[in-house]
């Protein structure tokens, strides 16, 4: 099976190239990037073939591609790949606008290709264990959740993440989607309303997008949850961020840290504090699911529609923060 990577704009592409090479029977045929300097940089770093254009990569007739461009550029690349009959794993968020997300889904459907949204948290071992306990009824009724998806301001990794036109926003666009997808996975899509507040207190002198956000989601059955989506970790933090959940249920309190499988390492030389991660590899499991779905001719565990739902939550949060009122979802699913 032949898989290529379209754009190295997203920092996750750096992990994905190794994930692909670790799967038996998969050939990572190379990368293409509309930013030639960026493409050359990562082609050298990972000893990968650099195609002169996206069209040249698709001319090699890959079975699938990973779209890792800037958020606002997902649509054009997915439509290009789908038009060539190539299956697509698209980075999150699926798009920055409802129109583009719907067009991406339509392109996949029209071409009859797989469209998977990159939500690696679906493949987190702690979260999968929690999902199994919820499905088995071990925790009883769930009353509410307090969750966080905090991180570093990503300007140190990729500057376009703080460019509103390319990223679609700031920390709310970057971080809400992961937890919105987990809520979708755990509890379905019957959300009643979204209320959000955002601010620009952190890193106010460096960027002009929101750097802090607190979101409240209310389900029709009364279940509610909060999300702290702030870029509140210092730039010298040992990892880019993390994701935690506290569930209040009739059986008590359940606390989950999706990134707790690590060792703290302290050095005298910089970086003074590092994490040595020993746990399961969410990205590897996600890429393997994409490959398995292609091989087996089936839908992936995470779909384009899942990506659209998560984006709808984000857009509702922005609307609420703008109006200072709860917003309703326009799912269109």
Q: What is the dihedral of CA 101, 103, 104, 106, to 10 degrees?
A: 120
* Domain-wise residue ranges, the chain: 2-113, 122-282+311-323
pLDDT tens for the chain, residues 1 to 333: 999 999 999 999 999 999 999 999 999 999 999 999 999 999 999 999 999 999 999 999 999 999 999 999 999 999 999 999 999 999 999 999 999 999 999 999 999 999 999 999 999 999 999 999 999 999 999 999 999 999 888 887 789 999 999 999 999 999 999 999 999 999 999 999 999 999 999 998 889 999 999 999 999 999 999 999 999 988 888 777 789 999 999 999 999 998 877 788 888 877 777 777 777 899 999 999 999 999 999 999 999 999 999 999 999 999 999 999 999 987 544
CATH code of domain 122-282+311-323: 3.30.360.10
Q: Structure pTM?
A: 0.94
Could you tell me which residues come within 8 angstroms of residue 36 by beta carbon, excluding any fewer than 6 positions away?
none
Spatial distance between the Cα atoms of 194 and 177, rounded to a whole number of angstroms? 13
Q: Do domains 2-113 and 122-282+311-323 have the same CATH topology?
A: no
Show the tokens assigned to 281.
């590899």
Q: Report the CATH fold assignment for 2-113.
A: Rossmann fold (3.40.50)
Chain centroid offset of residue 126 CA: 17
Q: What angle do CA 2, 5, 7 make, to 5 degrees?
A: 160
């Amino acid at each position: 099976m032949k898989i290529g990577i379209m754009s190295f704009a997203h920092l996750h592409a750096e992990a994905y190239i190794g994930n692909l090479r670790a799967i038996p029977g998969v050939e990572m045929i190379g990368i293409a990037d509309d930013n030639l300097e960026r493409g050359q940089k990562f082609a050298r770093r990972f000893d990968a073939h650099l195609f002169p254009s996206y069209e040249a990569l698709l001319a090699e007739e890959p079975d699938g591609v990973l779209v890792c461009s800037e958020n606002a550029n997902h649509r054009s690349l997915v439509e290009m790949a789908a038009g060539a009959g190539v299956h697509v794993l698209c980075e999150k968020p699926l798009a920055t606008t409802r129109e583009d997300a719907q067009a991406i889904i339509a392109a996949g459907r029209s071409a009859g290709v797989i469209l998977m949204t990159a939500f690696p948290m679906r493949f987190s071992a702690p979260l999968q264990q929690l999902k199994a306990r919820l499905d088995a009824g071990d925790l009883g009724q769930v009353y509410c959740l307090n969750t966080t998806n905090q991180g570093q301001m990503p300007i140190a990794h990729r500057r376009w993440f703080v460019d509103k036109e390319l990223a679609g926003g700031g920390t709310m666009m970057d971080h809400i989607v992961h937890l919105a997808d987990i809520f979708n996975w755990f509890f379905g899509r019957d959300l009643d309303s979204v209320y959000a507040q955002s601010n620009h207190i952190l890193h106010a002198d460096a960027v002009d997008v929101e750097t802090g956000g607190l979101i409240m989601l209310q389900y029709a059955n009364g279940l509610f949850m909060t999300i702290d989506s702030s870029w509140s970790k210092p730039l010298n933090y040992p990892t880019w961020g993390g994701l935690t959940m506290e569930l209040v249920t009739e059986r008590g309190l359940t606390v989950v840290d999706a990134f707790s499988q690590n060792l703290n390492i302290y050095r005298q030389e910089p970086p003074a504090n590092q994490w040595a991660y020993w746990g399961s590899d969410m990205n590897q499991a996600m890429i393997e699911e994409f490959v398995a779905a292609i091989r087996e001719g089936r839908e992936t565990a995470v779909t384009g529609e899942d990506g659209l739902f998560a984006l709808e939550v984000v857009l509702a949060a922005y609307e609420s923060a703008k109006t200072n009122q709860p917003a309703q979802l326009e799912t269109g699913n």
